[in-house]
Structure 1
Amino acid sequence: MSARAEFDEVDMAILRALQEDGGRSAKAVAQLVGLSQPACWRRIRRLEEEGVIRGRRVRLDLRRLGYEVTVFLGVKLAARGRASLEDFERAVTAIPEVQLVQHVLGVYDYRLKVVARDLADFERILRRRILTLPGVGEVESNVLLSEEKSTPGLS
């Protein structure tokens, strides 16, 4: 498999349909994209085997579950070196409220997405969990006010 494979319009339509609703059956996707169910199933299977489709997820409304605050953190590690990166990554991924961990290039080493029930809960998570992680030096917090667009894949 090449790092970047070529996909035709039907493949792209299938991906958009599944991105919109990952629970759609091959039959439902086939009807949307104008294929037979077996042909659509084969294409979906190929896209999965090639790693283009990496799974299907349920998108939850976190506010309805009581998570009212989303905070993006920029984390700069104090110590450099591969061991400190691995220790930090192992520890941060174990925190349930941390939904996203991205190793980035720029001012900060990592970008995190953290959810909390309220600001007091976020402060507890920050003080007791994030700031005590191995290698953490500097942290910048940005509280999400509103989300204008959220497109997890193709638009």
Structure 2
Amino acid sequence: MPDMSDRRILRHLLADPDASNAVLARRAGVTTASLWRRLERMREAGVIPAIQNRVDWRALGWEVEVSLRFTLDKTDPRAFDEFIAAAREVPEVTEIQTFLGSVDLRLSVIARDMAHWQQIYRARILTLPHVSDSDALMLVSTIKDSAELAL
């Protein structure tokens, strides 16, 4: 469990993820060596996941983002596994999430434009197995995209 110094480091890391270790250590009130050890310990504990570079797909011309919600026909015990396996084969699916409740799964899908979205939807989404109901939400704008919580 992170102590107060770890939490202070995490607050500053979240506020400025590109800050150097020296700047981060100064802001958090610890030495650079202590910061490095604490960050390593938190990485090993899974508090800080591996660094992943994120691609801005809009900057590369992928203008359409759709969130698809699915309810599956659960009469087949393999429904979830077969649906997920098929969804993983769709290159434009960037995220797959499962839920408890009236919605079983959510897929995030990207497309270059509306014509491309229509091709993906007809050829790949409508053919996913075990779907009893679906709903599509097209992303208009992102107001907040943050993993920050009070620490």
Instruction: Give TM-score, length-normalised by structure 2.
Output: 0.84
Change beyond 3 A, Cα 1:22–1:129: farther
Q: Contact between 2:73 and 2:79, CA under 8 Å: does it hold in 1? A: no
Q: C-alpha distance in 1, partners of 2:62/2:124?
A: 17
Change beyond 3 A, Cα 1:80–1:24: farther
Q: C-alpha distance in 2, partners of 1:21/1:99?
A: 26
3-state SS of 2:115 partner: helix
Q: C-alpha distance in 1, partners of 2:17/2:119?
A: 35
Q: Percent identity?
A: 38
- In structure 1, the residue matched to 2:46 is 51
Note if 1:120 corresponds to 2:100: no
- In structure 1, the residue matched to 2:85 is 90
Note if 1:42 corresponds to 2:37: yes
**What is the count of residue pairs matched by the alignment?**
150
Q: C-alpha distance in 2, partners of 1:93/1:23?
A: 32
What RMSD in Å do the two structures reach over aligned CA positions?
A: 2.2
- In structure 2, the residue matched to 1:130 is 125
Unaligned runs of 5+ in 2: none
Structure-to-structure mapping, 1:45-84, within 5 angstroms: 45-84=40-79
Change beyond 3 A, Cα 1:66–1:12: same
Q: C-alpha distance in 2, partners of 1:154/1:81?
A: 40
Residue 145 (structure 2) aligned to one of 145, 150, 153: 150
Q: C-alpha distance in 1, partners of 2:143/2:55?
A: 17
Deviations 1:93-151 (A, max 9, x none): 23221111110122211011111111111121122112212222322101111111111
3-state SS of 2:128 partner: coil
Between stretches 14-23 and 27-36, larger displacement belongs to 14-23
Instruction: Give TM-score, length-normalised by structure 1.
Output: 0.82
